[in-house]
Amino acid sequence: MPVSTNPDVMEKLVSLCKRRGFVFQSSEIYGGTGSVWDYGPLGVELKKNLKDRWWHAMVRARDDIQGIDAAILMHPRVWEASGHVAGFTDPMVDCRNCKKRFRADDPKIKGTPGTPDAQCPACGMKGTLSEARLFNLMFKTFMGPVEDTASVVYLRPETAQGIYVNFLNVQQSTRQKVPFGIAQIGKAFRNEITPGNFVFRTREFEQMEMQFFVDPQSDHMQWFEYWKAQRMEWHHGLGLSPERLHFHAHTADELAHYARAAFDIQFDFGGTLGFQEIEGVHHRGDFDLSRHQEYSGKKLEYFDQPNNRRFVPYVIETSVGADRTALALLVNAYREEEVPGESEGRTVLGLHPSLAPIKAGVFPLVKKDGMPEMAERIAAELRRRFPVFLDDSGAIGRRYRRQDEVGTPFCITVDGQSTQDGTVTIRDRDTLQQERVAGPFVGDYIMERIGN
């Protein structure tokens, strides 16, 4: 794993996210729920903007991908077919002394768990680590009023299976021809053993997944390469620094049970976390569709009419976490800097304007001479097109700082001249340059700069 040369900003981000309403700990007033987080007013906008960009790039802007929204609860046999009941387990060891739990392959464990010389990495005691035991990562619940083994269902640990079981429904209802894809965004749940690092690894998270169905007799590796390149380009388009992104190829040992080939797109989160996966691009072969055919007894073959051929397609999957990518965006955007000519520095979230939760701050310079009324009129007009924040309290410099810190790309000031000639100043978050623009053109000016 390459060592990061970027600073660790996680602690500062966690604090900013709470203070400014991006992310709160779930059920905080009860002491919090382990590794579950709630998105506040600004966080929900950021994540929604991110998901909208993905949906646009993967579904709306293409004619070969269809969107769906499958249910979280699925037939329990789905998870037998997918391999999750048998294979979605991690070997774990428990410390009898400090009660902490670790992955059996944790490099910090010295010695062999279960033997007297094995040492707990947390409390340092020797001989207290249990032997490795398998631990299933799926959340179980019960459907219906009776809690018995017949009513066990699982919260889905990935959204992909909702796509496989609907493969023919979508193909036949839309008359798509192979190669084509199905995409969805939705919640997934994993009883992670070692969650942490804020929203990086949580027990409830959102995935944006796309399964692309290809003819096994075609050059399917070419599609794998195509999707690798497309997905990396998408991350660049979000404004993630190219030098903080790279591919990591899975070795034979790392490949998931379903995968023939896999690459992670990793982002450098800085500090000790360093480069970590934010997206997986997987060649899943015909594993999933074949298994669902076998377990359901229903054919999941595609009929290639021109060639009068039936086949089970291969699948190229792209799977990206919305929460993890939102965290990458925040880490990438966070900076503290001096401001030329000013004694106080500033904290900035240099988010791409299309991702920023608030697009413009609107400030009356002073609370008199018609400036508040004009600012209110402009804010109301702009709010019909994008989120704005009207702020009339405190020195103008402070108001700029408050917007810089949440990534607002533009700040509009209504000053003495505005009430005379109808123009306002628009300050750019990054260059600090100000331009004077006529009131009626402010909306178009900003929309043009938000771009895609």
Q: Which residues bind ligand GAP (CB under 6 A)?
A: 158, 160, 190, 192, 201-202, 205, 207, 209, 277-280, 317, 319-321, 323-324
* 157 versus 361: smaller Cβ distance to ligand GAP: 157
Residue 369 sits at φ, ψ, to 5 deg, of: 55, 35
Nearest to 370 by CA among 400, 413, 415: 415
* 125 versus 193: smaller Cβ distance to ligand GAP: 193
Residue 137: CB minimum distance to ligand GAP, A: 9
CB 275 within 8 A of CB 1: yes
Kindly give, in sequence order, each residue whose CB lies less than 8 Å from that of residue 206, ignoring residues fewer than 6 positions away: 47, 51, 185, 186, 187, 188, 321, 322, 323
> Could you tell me the CA-to-CA distances from 415 to 144, 338, 353 in Å, in that order?
63, 26, 25
Helix axes 371-383, 442-450, angle to 10 degrees: 50
Residue 161 sits at φ, ψ, to 5 deg, of: -65, -30
Residue 188: CB minimum distance to ligand GAP, A: 7
* 94 versus 279: smaller Cβ distance to ligand GAP: 279
> Could you tell me the CA-to-CA distances from 405 to 99, 357, 376, 411 in Å, in that order?
40, 11, 23, 13
Residue 276: CB minimum distance to ligand GAP, A: 9
Residue 166: CB minimum distance to ligand GAP, A: 15
Nearest to 21 by CA among 42, 2, 6, 1: 42
What is d(CA 171, CA 164) in angstroms, rounded to the nearest whole number? 11
Pairing between β-strand 346-349 and β-strand 360-364 as defined by DSSP bridges: unpaired
Nearest to 287 by CA among 251, 315, 264: 315
Residue 45: CB minimum distance to ligand GAP, A: 19
Residue 262: CB minimum distance to ligand GAP, A: 8
DSSP 3-state of 313:
coil
Residue 83: CB minimum distance to ligand GAP, A: 12
Residue 353: CB minimum distance to ligand GAP, A: 24
* 270 versus 280: smaller Cβ distance to ligand GAP: 280
Residue 338: CB minimum distance to ligand GAP, A: 35
Residue 71: CB minimum distance to ligand GAP, A: 16
> Could you tell me the CA-to-CA distances from 354 to 124, 282, 332, 343, 447 in Å, in that order?
48, 28, 15, 31, 9
Residue 88: CB minimum distance to ligand GAP, A: 10
Kindly give, in sequence order, each residue whose CB lies less than 8 Å from that of residue 63, ignoring residues fewer than 6 positions away: none
What is d(CA 319, CA 300) in angstroms, rounded to the nearest whole number? 22
CB 209 within 8 A of CB 318: yes
* 183 versus 278: smaller Cβ distance to ligand GAP: 278
What is d(CA 110, CA 119) in angstroms, rounded to the nearest whole number? 5
* 171 versus 319: smaller Cβ distance to ligand GAP: 319
* 16 versus 278: smaller Cβ distance to ligand GAP: 278
Diameter over CA atoms, the chain: 83
* 158 versus 415: smaller Cβ distance to ligand GAP: 158
* 119 versus 325: smaller Cβ distance to ligand GAP: 325
* 106 versus 277: smaller Cβ distance to ligand GAP: 277
* 182 versus 278: smaller Cβ distance to ligand GAP: 278
Q: Where are the beta strands (DSSP E) in 221-332?
A: 245-249, 261-268, 275-285, 302-304, 309-311, 314-321
Token output for 332: 């990438």
Residue 234: CB minimum distance to ligand GAP, A: 13
Residue 28 sits at φ, ψ, to 5 deg, of: -55, -40
DSSP 3-state of 358:
coil
CB-nearest residue to ligand GAP: 321
